[in-house]
A and B are shown apart, each in its own frame.
Chain A
Amino acid sequence: MKRKSFNAAILFAAVLISSLANGADVELKKNDHICLVGNALCERMQHHNYWESLLHQRFPELELSVRNLGFPGDEPYERIRSENFGNPEQHLSHSKASVVMYFFGFNESFDGDAGLSKFSSDIKKLVNETKTSDFGNGTPQIILVSPIAFENTGDPNLPDGREHNARLNKYTAALASAANETGVAFVDVFTPTLSLFEESDERLTLNGAHLNDKGYAQLAPLLDTALFGKGGPAIPDPAVKAAVDDKNFHWWHRYRAVNGFSIYGSRGKAGSDGTYNNTDVMERERAILDQMTANRDARIWAVASGKQTDSPVDDSNTLPFINPKTNVGGPDDPNAKRGKLGSLDYLTAEEQLELFELHDGFQIQLVASEEQFPELANPVALNFDNKGRLWVATMESYPHWKPKSKMDDKILIFEDLDQDGDADKCIVFAGGLHQPTGFELGNGGAYIAEQPDILFMKDTNGDDMADTKVRKLFGFDSADSHHGIAAFEWGPGGNLYFEEGTFKYSQVESPYGLTRLSEAGIWKYHPKSEKFGVFVNFAFANPWGHVFDHWGQNFIGDASPGNSYWAAPLSGRIDYPLKHPGGSQHRRIAKTTGGDPSYKFPTFYPKRTRPLAGCAIVSSRHFPPEMQGNFLVTNCIGDRSVLNHKVMEDGAGFKGEEVAPIVSCKDGNFRPVDLQIAPDGSLYIVDWHNALIGHLQHNLREPNRDHSHGRIWRVTHKTRPLIEPAKIDGESIPKLLELLKLPEDRTRYRAKRELAARDTAKVISALKDWTSKLDKTDENYTHHLLESLWLHQTHNVINQTLLKELLSAKDHRARAAATRVLSFWLDDIPDHKQLLEKCIADEHPRVRLEGVRAVSFLSGDEAIELALGVLEHDVDDYTQFTLDETMRRLEQ
């Protein structure tokens, strides 16, 4: 492809700079307001501020203000947002845009030739509309920026980019001719990045499609030259970049404010103290952030002009905060009446310990509290690493970081040096976070929710403190901090799942295309292949629980309504804007998402009390045999308990029955929100420990929201021995494979998590050996085989023979699990239709249901015919639902 040429020339040295780009000038004037609009390429630029630094260094005297309005997944006319986010024109007007840079074409390019003419006409329409607008600074200048090329990373798990680049080339050409026709500037970064990727020895993208930090550093001079011609500064000045980083940090928290639904959305009206509601209080904070951003513009100009600027930025000119009164207490406190309120007189952990009631045979102990570890403020999620250590996420700033304060929510590691069950040492793995509503460990680091992103943070020098931070996944909505990404869980086949709540409108880009999701669901992400998509598209309220059983069947807990669901029927494919019907929020949105508004998808046991903050399945020889497989649920309002349910197979699905709780507490501040079986088989519980509960019931800045308490508790059996924790971290692959024979789900989970991070070739070779040597007479032989299949899936290695063997296994649970694996491998298994036909004709209803579910990922009349085959058999409610929903998808 021929490089487009730009006749860049500096026309006016001092105040007016212009360059010719494909026939249209780029002229920057003093005090221009440059707004960046478009997809992830654009949005992520504010976290890698190389180009903007070069811009200010090149034109310090122009005193330019740059505002990034990007949002992953944005297309010219499809940009989904949470309620009242504001339309593009409102945001451009807010920032008084005088220059608009549009970054489109990457997501659109997946439509190939079929989508070209629509893309072209959409772009022209958008340009023409923008041209005739006035955002407060006169007629805006428009610059169309092409998509970047796709990098061939050499990773066999990722696309090599050949098809991507052929498409991107055409979309770049479409942009060029649209710019030509509409008489606006065009910048080609496709061509230079194509050569850049070819020439670079270093990897410059996260996944082929999205630049990493080095990639943005390399893009900066290319973009600068393409816009303004040669002669710009060669490298960013670190002082300028630091000033730009600081400015963009404040802008980011203003434009992409977490809790949007409680600021400008419907819940802005909530939280009234009689005078001020959430909107009043929080919009003031956004106004302050606008002022702080503007203050930092001035700092950038000063630094770029070479002025000495060691003093902190002076923000004394900002508006005052609005401080609402409390609504806690008094004779008519509705939250007290409903039993939601705890007590503002917090008990010590020792006093609280006396107030627990345990299931027969069990005892409880304190693992950690804020008394000994002040870092443990508002703990929200826990996990255990492969060394067996406890990890906890804390949200001291919950529900929302306050401007001018230090942003410092954390991921903590607790070490129990003397092995007595209580923590002796606390290490801050990561600080400086905002609302880490969930996290998971893997691939040598931690995936951490920090809406609107998911971070991947890693300790590279062995001090247990993270020193790299990558925004790995992006485009999630930030409409509500307590509906944020939560309940991270590795699936048995190496997919990372995480849940998102209602009010949210997310657009997530991947090397395979864009996924949109509105109003809640569960996401799936395979870190090897970078395949990303929606696993469950269902109108939850705020799902915070997700767990897989021994045979890979999964269960979901929706927090606010306290509903527990069996996942399989809900996890067939259905695409935005449709959703599977029956969630607690479905009725409100059914007009858009389809399905009978009055339908309620069944919970697998009758809900007695709400809510349901986290869930776990008992799989531990430390627990008595009769409790194995029980479904545990943390209840932090109705009962202040860990509720306990027996689970039985029932037709295609499962049914549960409540039995005596594991533990409950008479201290109303006991707020169990997460729990997990530890490596020694005991049960750990996160106690959020707050008198107030509920996001909606109090102002976001309610003075009595607690920011200091938090406790971790541990439940053990009084007489049964603990389990010797398995050695996982650093163990050899064969030893790790042997761990897959252990009965504890969590031990196998951690072993697979370790194996997932090892070299694929070595793992698969050892696995081949391990699988062939399995004892066929072992009663768990089929399960061992299944673990082998799942490990293949984890390493993105297709094994048709093993898959087919398990599809024909005697145990229906294995066949159902294999059918689920097949649903992920459809593209790679040529005879998948024949296999699915067999699944759909299986003697067990669960296998048939999994088969029909898998068909939802196919398309066309043949797929319809395949799914309909299930009607040749008995069809229970779950299967009927799955068939109906698969049909909806195939008809979509």
Chain B
Amino acid sequence: MRHVALCFLLATVHLSSSMGQDHVHGDGSTNNSSTKIEAPKVFLDKSPRIVAYQLKRLDNQRLLMVERRADDAKYIPVYQAILTRTGMSPQYRLESIGSLANLQKSDPVVVVLSAIDQLDATKREQQRTAGQLTRILLDIKSEQLQSQTSTLLAATQSENAFVASAATAALLVSGQYDNRTDELTTSQAGKIAFLKAITMLPDAKRRDIFRPRVVELLESSSDARISNAAIRALGYIQSEGTDSFARLATLLSDDQLRIEVIRTMLKVPAKQRDAEASLKTASFLVDLAERTPAEKRTSATFIDAMQLADQLMAVVPSEQAKSFRERLKAVTVRVIRIKTVEEEMRYDIPYFAVEAGESVQIVLENHDLMPHNLVITAPEALKEVAQLGLQVGPNKGWKNLPYVPESDKVIQATGMVPADQQTSLTFKAPSTPGEYPYVCTFPQHWYRMYGVMVVVNDLDDWQKNPTEPANPVGSNRSFVQAWKVDDLKNELASGVLGRSPEIGKRLFAEASCGGCHKMHGEGGVIGPELTDVFPRWKGDRVGILREILEPSHKVDAKYVMQRILTVDGRTVTGVLLGEDDEKVTLLSNPEAKQPTVIPQDDIEAMVPSSVSMMPKALLDQYTKDEVFEVMAYLENAASNPKP
């Protein structure tokens, strides 16, 4: 599960007040912001309401300028404000947890739980913060969690559902409840908290342990809330997928559960979808499609159902599949849903097949923080279209779309989809079979963000024996591992020995680092130059590795991604180059020839993102050796001449 890979890694980081000198993602220097801001005076000796009011008035930058010391209790509200603030870098949250634990003579576990308790679960931003805090909680070493068992147990009873499930998850992580989950699931609230906790556990193996209890709760439940929570939890459990799939198939007819059932079934890998259950499910879904009124056939729920039906056609006997397909064609267009993956700059689907000349609808959901589009190109034309798109830039190209070139190599294209929004594209598939790449033509994204639409004469035939299309950018790389700092750090010192600068340089280019960073004066400017990264970081290898693997751990103010919402509803993102009374100048992508200038009058809101513009998982297609090659290349860059 990719989701788990997003989790923030801290199992061995000690939570204490002395977090040590942390580094800035970027050039290692302090704030480069043009306007000098003075440290605000906060009257910490006044009543809590006054202190809270003053702290609330400060933006993140000013809040961090308020004096704080871990040896004086009057600074508690400052740390509390930092800990619960939206968009705060994790390093400051960790520092605050350590300091609060000291000042309150408390435990990090207590500190985190009470911080989660202060968040407003109805606000989306605060939910995100609660998620971050929960990840911090679950990364605490299990011995430490065990020592707080009674606190955690008490918190499972909290009326705040987020606290209850976070505490439950912490107990599950601590390893003490592997065989006695029934103790946590006596009440209805306890059951729901437990089932939600499963979805929070960072370690997939740990989730598998609790499968029996999840199944038990699903079987015994007569309460739709519990059933839905259990179904959702099953989607996060990898073991016994075949059983889960079959089980879920039997629940499809329940109106109260169907939405969650379909979503979860979509998560079960194709290989674990049992033929009989698949046929039954496909048949049910075709009936469902026929009896769904036309006006409801565009809902997300319906699209989920059709997505599942479509996938199951590959498993059911082909005669059956043909007949299902005919019936579906009569009521709906075939839907392919493609999602972007947050912070990873990729689509969730590497390829899909369509039948030549048939209608198809692509729904592109953007779950990332920056805008993306999807352009289908003629076979083998990905690179050409992407590069022409770059020249078009944000101006209007094909069908007035930005970054889409006027070219007969463009088959179909969406507009740029802003963060958290979606768009759909309905078209007839090309009549000539072949491998048609799709790609995000936003500058530089094509390196990583692409897939293939396979056009075939007979979809059922193809699905009987699907063949993976060739990589459209010619990369033969495939996923190796979702690298974490802990996977590499112990071997890092020895790993960088005896590496070759030539290989390092090649990998640096292949992993598209040079698109944004200069090395020996060559490369992009959207991130800091890396030639002297090691001296700047005083040789801190682990720190630099963390910057590569977790780019958002700390973002230098100079390289913070700004998201601008214009009064006419456009979203523009990029790194701020300058701002004055009249305009804001942004570098919206590494290859932009000119900065984007937006008049202040056109700006509705400008929101700095706590997330780095640098994609995560850049090295997940690289082996451990290759990662060390890149590290060695960086380490030796300052002392070595250009290789």
Q: How many residues of B contact A (CB 8 A)?
A: 16
Query: CB within 8 Å of A: which residues of B?
Result: 40-41, 43, 46-47, 49-50, 53-54, 57, 581, 600-601, 603-605
Residues of B within 8 A of A864 (CB): 41, 43
Question: Which A residue sits closest to B40, measured CB to CB?
Answer: A891
Residues of A within 8 A of B53 (CB): 868, 871
Residues of B within 8 A of A597 (CB): 604-605
A836-892 residues with Cβ-Cβ distance < 8 A to B are: 861, 864-865, 868-869, 871-872, 887, 891
Contact of B600 among A592, A865, A891 (CB under 8 A): A592
A591 at the interface (CB under 8 A from B): yes
Contact B41 A861 (CB under 8 A): yes
Question: Which A residue sits closest to B57, measured CB to CB?
Answer: A887
Can you give 19 A-B contacts (C-beta < 8 A)? A591-B600, A591-B601, A591-B603, A592-B581, A592-B600, A597-B604, A861-B41, A864-B41, A864-B43, A865-B43, A865-B46, A868-B43, A868-B53, A871-B49, A871-B53, A872-B49, A872-B50, A887-B57, A891-B40
**CA separation between A871 and B46, bound complex, in Å?**
10
Q: Beyond A592-B581, A861-B41, A887-B57, is A868–B601 a contact (Cβ under 8 Å)?
A: no
**CA separation between A864 and B50, bound complex, in Å?**
11
Contact B43 A872 (CB under 8 A): no
Interface string of A641-661 (1 = CB under 8 A from B): 000000000000000000000
State the Cβ distance, B62 to closest chain A Cβ, in Å. 10
Residues of A within 8 A of B43 (CB): 864-865, 868
Q: How many A-B residue pairs have CB under 8 A?
A: 28
Residues of A within 8 A of B50 (CB): 868-869, 871-872
Contact A868 B603 (CB under 8 A): no
Interface string of A592-615 (1 = CB under 8 A from B): 100001000000000000000000
Q: Which 6 A-B pairs have the closest CB atoms?
A: A861-B41, A868-B50, A871-B50, A871-B49, A591-B600, A591-B603
**CA separation between A597 and B41, bound complex, in Å?**
27
**CA separation between A492 and B102, bound complex, in Å?**
58
State the Cβ distance, A290 to closest chain B Cβ, in Å. 30
Contact B47 A872 (CB under 8 A): yes
**CA separation between A20 and B605, bound complex, in Å?**
56
Question: Which A residue sits closest to B54, measured CB to CB?
Answer: A868
Residues of A within 8 A of B604 (CB): 597
Residues of B within 8 A of A865 (CB): 43, 46
Please classify how large the interface on chain A is, using the bins under 10, 10 to 19, 20 to 34, 35 or more. Answer: 10 to 19
Contact B47 A871 (CB under 8 A): yes
Residues of A within 8 A of B603 (CB): 591
Contact of A868 among B46, B581, B600 (CB under 8 A): B46
Residues of A within 8 A of B601 (CB): 591
**CA separation between A591 and B41, bound complex, in Å?**
26
**CA separation between A126 and B278, bound complex, in Å?**
80
Question: Which A residue sits closest to B47, measured CB to CB?
Answer: A872
Question: Which A residue sits closest to B58, measured CB to CB?
Answer: A891
**CA separation between A871 and B601, bound complex, in Å?**
36
Question: Which A residue sits closest to B603, measured CB to CB?
Answer: A591
Residues of A within 8 A of B600 (CB): 591-592
Chain B CB count within 10 A is highest, among A871, A872, A887, for A871
Residues of A within 8 A of B605 (CB): 597
State the Cβ distance, A164 to closest chain B Cβ, in Å. 30
**CA separation between A870 and B193, bound complex, in Å?**
42
Residues of B within 8 A of A872 (CB): 47, 49-50
Residues of A within 8 A of B47 (CB): 871-872
Question: Which A residue sits closest to B600, measured CB to CB?
Answer: A591
Question: Which A residue sits closest to B46, measured CB to CB?
Answer: A868
A592-B581, A864-B43, A872-B49 known, 4 other contacts, Cβ within 8 Å: A591-B600, A868-B46, A872-B50, A887-B57
Question: Which A residue sits closest to B601, measured CB to CB?
Answer: A591
**CA separation between A592 and B584, bound complex, in Å?**
13
State the Cβ distance, B244 to closest chain A Cβ, in Å. 46
**CA separation between A861 and B44, bound complex, in Å?**
13
State the Cβ distance, A432 to closest chain B Cβ, in Å. 40
Residues of B within 8 A of A861 (CB): 41
**CA separation between A891 and B58, bound complex, in Å?**
11
Question: Which B residue sits closest to A860, measured CB to CB?
Answer: B41
State the Cβ distance, A43 to closest chain B Cβ, in Å. 25
Question: Which B residue sits closest to A862, measured CB to CB?
Answer: B41
**CA separation between A861 and B39, bound complex, in Å?**
12
Chain B CB count within 10 A is highest, among A591, A592, A872, A887, for A591
**CA separation between A591 and B606, bound complex, in Å?**
10
**CA separation between A864 and B57, bound complex, in Å?**
13
State the Cβ distance, B563 to closest chain A Cβ, in Å. 15
State the Cβ distance, A547 to closest chain B Cβ, in Å. 34
**CA separation between A597 and B49, bound complex, in Å?**
26
**CA separation between A829 and B470, bound complex, in Å?**
84
State the Cβ distance, A771 to closest chain B Cβ, in Å. 40
State the Cβ distance, A622 to closest chain B Cβ, in Å. 49
State the Cβ distance, A841 to closest chain B Cβ, in Å. 13
Question: Which B residue sits closest to A870, measured CB to CB?
Answer: B50
State the Cβ distance, B411 to closest chain A Cβ, in Å. 41
Question: Which B residue sits closest to A868, measured CB to CB?
Answer: B50
State the Cβ distance, B139 to closest chain A Cβ, in Å. 36
State the Cβ distance, A581 to closest chain B Cβ, in Å. 14
Question: Which B residue sits closest to A597, measured CB to CB?
Answer: B604
Interface string of A570-598 (1 = CB under 8 A from B): 00000000000000000000011000010
State the Cβ distance, A438 to closest chain B Cβ, in Å. 31
**CA separation between A864 and B46, bound complex, in Å?**
12
**CA separation between A891 and B604, bound complex, in Å?**
23
State the Cβ distance, B54 to closest chain A Cβ, in Å. 7
**CA separation between A20 and B47, bound complex, in Å?**
69
Residues of B within 8 A of A871 (CB): 47, 49-50, 53
Residues of A within 8 A of B54 (CB): 868
State the Cβ distance, B399 to closest chain A Cβ, in Å. 30
Residues of B within 8 A of A868 (CB): 43, 46, 50, 53-54
Question: Which B residue sits closest to A577, measured CB to CB?
Answer: B581
State the Cβ distance, A869 to closest chain B Cβ, in Å. 8
**CA separation between A534 and B603, bound complex, in Å?**
28
**CA separation between A871 and B57, bound complex, in Å?**
14
Residues of B within 8 A of A891 (CB): 40, 57
Interface string of A39-65 (1 = CB under 8 A from B): 000000000000000000000000000
Chain B CB count within 10 A is highest, among A597, A868, A887, A891, for A868
Residues of A within 8 A of B581 (CB): 592
**CA separation between A344 and B43, bound complex, in Å?**
66
**CA separation between A597 and B53, bound complex, in Å?**
21
**CA separation between A871 and B49, bound complex, in Å?**
7
**CA separation between A865 and B41, bound complex, in Å?**
10
**CA separation between A197 and B46, bound complex, in Å?**
54
Question: Which B residue sits closest to A588, measured CB to CB?
Answer: B601
**CA separation between A687 and B54, bound complex, in Å?**
51
Residues of A within 8 A of B40 (CB): 891
**CA separation between A887 and B57, bound complex, in Å?**
9
Question: Which B residue sits closest to A864, measured CB to CB?
Answer: B41
**CA separation between A861 and B43, bound complex, in Å?**
9
**CA separation between A592 and B580, bound complex, in Å?**
11
State the Cβ distance, B49 to closest chain A Cβ, in Å. 5
Interface string of A673-705 (1 = CB under 8 A from B): 000000000000000000000000000000000
**CA separation between A592 and B49, bound complex, in Å?**
30
**CA separation between A585 and B443, bound complex, in Å?**
38
Question: Which B residue sits closest to A888, measured CB to CB?
Answer: B57
**CA separation between A891 and B42, bound complex, in Å?**
12
Residues of B within 8 A of A869 (CB): 50
State the Cβ distance, B203 to closest chain A Cβ, in Å. 43
Question: Which A residue sits closest to B606, measured CB to CB?
Answer: A591
**CA separation between A887 and B42, bound complex, in Å?**
12
Residues of A within 8 A of B57 (CB): 887, 891
**CA separation between A887 and B603, bound complex, in Å?**
25
**CA separation between A546 and B86, bound complex, in Å?**
43
Residues of B within 8 A of A591 (CB): 600-601, 603
**CA separation between A549 and B604, bound complex, in Å?**
39
**CA separation between A868 and B50, bound complex, in Å?**
6
Question: Which A residue sits closest to B62, measured CB to CB?
Answer: A891
